[in-house]
Each structure stands twice: as structure tokens, then as C-alpha cells.
Structure 1
């Protein structure tokens, strides 16, 4: 039985998707995570998961196709020089099935659908709670942990069908005859305790957006970003890349690092190296970006790279402002951010203007111009203008936060094919037998820019592909 076991390294959404898929197929699973708890960055995702041709879209009468629309948007975001059609096809063509799997197999509510930056159609799904990353990841986590507990109780002296070991840091991939045949891992708390496990390996260790060490991956490929804060947990240090390249795995696009435009500046700790993300759903609901003079300077639902570039040119502090209607649409988000002291609520525009020292007339002029005839930021010319502007008035309440660009996601990673097989760094780029990868550890799916909602999608789609291929 143990010969069937697959070792999944990483307990975020990609690893959980792979592990649950393997169990659905009757396989045996060993899941290892270097942290004392599962979830990774996936639990923090706050905007949603993309899907084209989904049941939720049909119920909302949203006409979307993965071929002509979702694929095209992802290709355009990646850029023609870095877009990889096979990987984009795998991502988008499997999106509806991924959404259905989450809703049908795990009972996740994904009935709210919105359109975020870079998308021509509303296709980013989330739950009504406003915390889609937690809703999705915790559902998969609970099911896997329940299966692991049941397996442990049922097996006496035999390998359980599924085993989860936390605080287990993989230090080496085992290799025989050019194939990966297992791992060695170190248990924290047991100094020098190295344990071997044999089986095919799926790497789901995340990216390297928190690798700010002087000799780390960011320092090697994007040293100018070391000055920025990050939204990532301290686990995102590129472990999977180092493990795989040690067995001659290829990498791609390691200089492609997404700087998200909207990280919260905490007034009590403005220089914090790790920052909360201001979800893109806030701008998708109609939130405005205002410069130090209270004026807009970019179309808020443009692609992340475009918004970030505009923010870096604008005079700060840059503020994210939501009117009453916009705030009501993302109420759970706003309530959470206010409770954390990251967002402030004002009774009306006059109170906001007085507090920040901007003439109220300027604020009201900005509000009046939003969505009006002649609004210079009404359309990017790309057709992405399907959001109806939320009304802003002189008397309506406002939710406001100071924001700044933050290192958010690493598009680069291990070179894989559309079957989630890790490819060799040799010129022939053949798959390395026994080695698969999913989630942010892989590269090439997003090219130059990742669309909002595609990180959770990438984790589920390629996690399911890897779990189905082993």
C-alpha cells in the first residue's frame, strides 16, 4: 500500500487541492508542512477565485467563455512575450470545473461574482462572508484533517491512508536514476532528526515574496523590491525552488514579481515590513484612489501593474476611498479593516476633508467627476468598462485608508507543463519523473502580471491536475 503514497509538500490551497484529489482517486497521501499550522497565504486571499462559464455566472446572467474571454484576458495580462498558451489554457479551461468541485465537494459558497482589474467580464467568485481565501482553504483543510484523524484511528501499525505532519521542513528531494523517489525532512524540535519518506512528490510550497535575505531570490532577481513591504507570511521563501533546482529542475520568469498597488499603511506601525492587503474587491465595488490633493490619477480597476505604476508617480499619501454604496457591497471587508485600525469611517465628505486637510470642494469635484461624461478614467480603451460607478455624494459616509504598493506575488517559479510535471533545466526540458508542482511555486502561468482572482484558481486547478496525474 505504501508504494502508492504520494508526498505533498506544502499545506496551502495548492497542496490541499492535490491531497484531496489524490484521496478521491484512492491514493495514499503524506502531507508535510514546515509551519505548525496549514493554510499558507491562501487563507488570507480576500478578492475571490476566477471562473468562466460557471453556474453562478449563469444564474446571474453573466455571459462568459474561457476561450474567447477568460483566456484572452489572461493572455493580455501576461504579455505576448511571456504568455504561455498551454498553461493559460489549462488554467482557464479548468476554471468552471474547479469552482464546481469547491461548491459540490466541499460546500463552499461562491455565489457572489464581481469584475476586478484586467477582466472584461465579471468572473471573480467569492462567498458572502467576504473572506473567500479562508472559506475555500479551511473547507479543504477540515475535510483532509478529518480524513487523517479517521485514518489514524483505523490503522494500527500500518501506514494510514492520509497522514499530515506539521513543523516538518523538507530539506532534500531523493533521487534515483534521474527520477525523484521521495524526500528527506527535518522535524522542528528534534535537533538533527532527519526522516526519509519515499513516493512521488508534489511541491506546493508557495513563492518567494517573503525572501528578503541578502542572498535570497528577491535580492538576486529584483533587488530594488527589498525596500518594499510584503503581504506574505514568513514561510514564502522559495523553498520548493531550491529543492527542485538541486535535482536539475528548470525555472522561468524569476524576475517577474507582482507589486500589488494596495497594501494598508497601519497608522500605528507605518513602517511594518509585513502589511495587510487591501483587497482588490474594494476597488471592484467602486472604491476610488485619491492622491495627496484629493484627485484621481488612474482608473481604479486597471491591471495591478498599471495601477502600481500610476501610484508610484502620484504624490502621496495615496488614499483608498469608498462611498456608502461601495462600502455596503464589501461590508464584511470594511468592518474587518476598521476593527484592525487600518480603515477609518467618516460621516461625510466634509469630515474627511477636514481631517486630511484637503479642501472639501476638491473632494466633491472629484466625486462629481467619477463616471460622468468626460471622466478621463472611465475607460482604459481595452473594453474593461462594465462596472457601473457607485454614487458619491456630499452627505454619504466614507471609508478611507492610506495605501502603498507591496510585494505580493511571484509569477516566476518552476518550469512545468500543462500536466503539472516539473521540467528539467536541460535543453530538452523533459519532465523529471516523480516530480510535480502546483500553486505559486510554479512559473509561467501569469507571465508579466497575475490577474486578481487567479492565485486561488491556479492553486486549485494545478493542485487538481497534479493530484490527478500522479
Structure 2
């Protein structure tokens, strides 16, 4: 049994969760991140974190079960569903949220129902920035621990060049900083994120999904598949799975000041969860706004191909009020515009006011039970749209958002070789792993995957350090 520190590669939510889990068990940690600051994509997540059977749900009289969450996740995953990984994700969801709220004091008291979920189970804080609230809390606590004792060291601007190995076991890493190369020995947890910003020639997207190269991404420039390459370069390489499964999010903001920007802000799914509508260039709805991401994306892409774009997202006064902090931020960035009424929007966009009136009236009627929504919308939240009240509007487009494929792991977050056997000394967590979401990830399950598998990786590594 080695006495070396556990090495965590990647300082997003998965890596941070693993680090805290190791520290809670009295172990030593070295956390490496190639960027000058921690957080990764986790800090940008804006819809929330899923949990079934949580205290917040109980207080809001929301009846939910692990079985229901597992069923929704399995349906979303489709033919690539892996029951053991789905069970690991869903059965640990309530404990994960309890850990965040009780041990770290994070507010996750707001619960909403988003696309693909049968009940409300996506938790967020009242400020409306759950990714930042969760990840920054873990960053601050880890930084404080690093300042107080030698049990944890954080090294930024540190690029891991290769994994060290001996007789089929991973025994450490070689990393590079401005001061040169360093070798560190210990078990390794890979938490480097996905490859949704890897647009390079010969990169993972170009190799597995070249059709997506023309799209923009919501990811930071760190998400280039570093961890995938590290584990693939071992003499006993880790298996990679589902690399062609890349989630295209339906709602990326089109910035009027930079329409062709390769990196776009995400229009949070919560905007649709609170009652936002999606309309085409004529002001007509064409989809169930709270359907799964893959379904909404497919319909939007069809509308755009048919020449019915641009596609816009519209929120009424009540919807915008419920998610005010998001809307205020988007307006400040010039990504969303507030109109005093539908007539003002009609004059600005060229959409006939009669069309907007019909769309708003019909949606309101469907919500009240007067007729059946032709797109099968099952829930209507903040559903009463009036042409006389203020509305928030933004142009949106599909964007590369999340990579479901990655390193094959078991339910304990141990990295697996091509024969399905755990590779001693190697663990993985967060978006870098594959197989958890199958063909489609549900909204709210990225933060959950990071916390759950980060903690599982940390717990698994505890037994060997």
C-alpha cells in the first residue's frame, strides 16, 4: 500500500468533489489544473443539479423516487443505457445534494422540472447560478485547506504530459509548469472534462463527429479531451466508449454583436423550465419546449433547414420574474432584450402582431385545458402570455454542449481496460467518463455526475492510499 498523495488531474466540480472526499478521509491530495484558475465548465452550469428523494423535494411536497429518476435517465439514454452506472448516479443523488447543503452550506432549495424529467427534481439556489454557487464553495474550502495545512496542494498552470505506470498499474504523473517538468507518484483521478471544444484537425470531434465542426460550443477552451488521450497512451490503455455521442444543446444565445462567435453563452434550460416559448421567424411555436434536449434540437435544426429561422426564445413577465437573475445577466450582455409588449417586439422583429397574438392566445388556452397542445407539452408553468405585457426575447441556435462519451468506468469510478477490468491506480470522474448518459444527458445531470462520481472516485482511492 502506497503512502503517496492521490493526484487529481482537473479542477472542475468532479476533481474538487474527489479532493474533498479524500481530505474528509484523512488522505493527502495534489490537485493539478492546466488553466490559471479552477472551476472548468462547472462554474457556468446554470440549470441546476438533479436529486431524487431530497429534503428540498420533501419540503415542497414533491414525490420522487430513485426508481423514477432511473427510469427517466434510462429512457433518455436509449439503446446505450448502462444500468449499473445509472443506478450509481441516481441512488447517490440525494446523498450528493445532502453533502452539498449540509457540509458546505450551499442553498439548493429551488426545485424545478426540466425536459425529460417526470417530476421536479432539478435543484438550484435562489440566486439562479447553481454551477457557480456549488463549485466556488468547493474551491474556497479547498483553497482554505491548502493554506492551513500540507494535506492538499493545488498547482495551476500545470499540464499533465503523461501517466506513469509500472507492471500494469498507474503510479503517478509527469506534469509541466513554467518551472519545468515534475514527476509525482500516487494513484491518479482523471477529471479533465470533455472534448466539446476540440475543433482541431484530427481531434476527437473531427474523428468521431465531423458533422458538428461547423457549430459553435458553450465550452471553455480547456475542454479538448486531454484525459482521454492520457489514458489511451498507457501500455494497458483504458477503454473509451460512446465517443460519437455528443449532446447538441438547442439553446445557445446568438449574440447580435458577434453572430458567428465560435464560443457562445448557453441559454439555460431553466429558461424553458419556467415557461419560456420557442418560436420560428413567423412567431409560431413548433415544439414541446420542455421535451428532451435531443428532441428540441432536432426540431430546431429542421426549422432552420426549412428557412424558418431565426429561432427565438420568449419569456413572459412571470417566467422572467421567476428567473430574474438569469435574465438580468443576459440583458446586460446584450444576449436578450426586454420589450414592453408584443407590439414593440413585432415592430423590431418584423413578425406579424396577429401571429404573436395567436401563438400567445393558443398557448394560454392549452394551459387552461381548452384544447390539446399539438406538440404534446405535458406541463404549463407561467403559461399565460399576453400581448400587452413585457416580454424577454433572445435569438437562439443549437450548440455543441456536452460529450457523453469518454473513459469507461465501473460503478465505483474505477477506469476499465478494453477487457472490462479495473486498471489499478486509475480512476475517473465527471464529463471525462463515458456511458453514464448513453445517447442523451438529462438537464441537471452534469453537475450531479461530477459530484457523485467525483466522490465515488475519491472513496475508491481512499482504500489504496
Q: Return the TM-score normalized by structure 1.
A: 0.95
Q: Which residue among 241, 250, 253 is the counterpart of 2:239?
A: 250
Q: Which residue of 2 aligns with 1:412?
A: 405
* 8 A Cα contact 1:207 1:440, kept in partner: yes
Q: Which residue of 2 aligns with 1:468?
A: 459
Q: Which residue among 232, 248, 254 is the counterpart of 1:265?
A: 254
* 8 A Cα contact 2:318 2:382, kept in partner: no
Q: Which residue among 199, 202, 205 is the counterpart of 1:215?
A: 202
Q: Which residue of 2 aligns with 1:304?
A: 293
Q: Which residue of 1 aligns with 2:225?
A: 238
Report whether the alignment pairs 1:179 with 2:172: no
How far residue 3 of structure 1 moved from its aligned partner, in angstroms, is 1.6
Q: Which residue among 143, 158, 167 is the counterpart of 1:168?
A: 158
Unpaired stretches in structure 2, ≥5 consecutive residues: none
Quote the Cα distance in structure 1 between the aligned partners of 2:114 and 2:121: 8
Deviations 1:102-158 (A, max 9, x none): 00111100000000000010000000001000000000000000000111xxxxxxx
How far residue 386 of structure 1 moved from its aligned partner, in angstroms, is 3.6
Alignment of 1:126-205 (within 5 A): 126-151=124-149, 160-187=150-177, 189-190=178-179, 193-205=180-192
Root-mean-square deviation (CA, aligned residues, Å) is 1.1
How many residues align? The count is: 451
Q: Which residue among 373, 378, 382 is the counterpart of 1:376?
A: 373
The verdict on how the C-alpha distance between 1:377 and 1:389 changes in structure 2, with shifts beyond 3 A counting, is farther
Q: Which residue of 2 aligns with 1:436?
A: 427
* 8 A Cα contact 1:115 1:387, kept in partner: no
Quote the Cα distance in structure 1 between the aligned partners of 2:124 and 2:382: 21
* 8 A Cα contact 2:287 2:375, kept in partner: no
* 8 A Cα contact 1:321 1:398, kept in partner: yes
Q: Which residue of 1 aligns with 2:69?
A: 70
Give the secondary structure class of the aligned counterpart of 2:213.
helix
* 8 A Cα contact 2:363 2:373, kept in partner: no
How far residue 375 of structure 1 moved from its aligned partner, in angstroms, is 4.0
Deviations 1:59-78 (A, max 9, x none): 000000011x1000000000
Give the secondary structure class of the aligned counterpart of 2:30.
strand
Quote the Cα distance in structure 2 between the aligned partners of 1:137 and 1:28: 20
How far residue 5 of structure 1 moved from its aligned partner, in angstroms, is 1.1
Alignment of 1:12-161 (within 5 A): 12-67=12-67, 69-79=68-78, 81-151=79-149, 160-161=150-151
* 8 A Cα contact 2:286 2:375, kept in partner: no
Quote the Cα distance in structure 2 between the aligned partners of 1:446 and 1:311: 22
* 8 A Cα contact 2:31 2:154, kept in partner: yes
Give the secondary structure class of the aligned counterpart of 1:266.
coil
Give the secondary structure class of the aligned counterpart of 1:405.
strand
Q: Return the TM-score normalized by structure 2.
A: 0.96
* 8 A Cα contact 1:287 1:321, kept in partner: yes
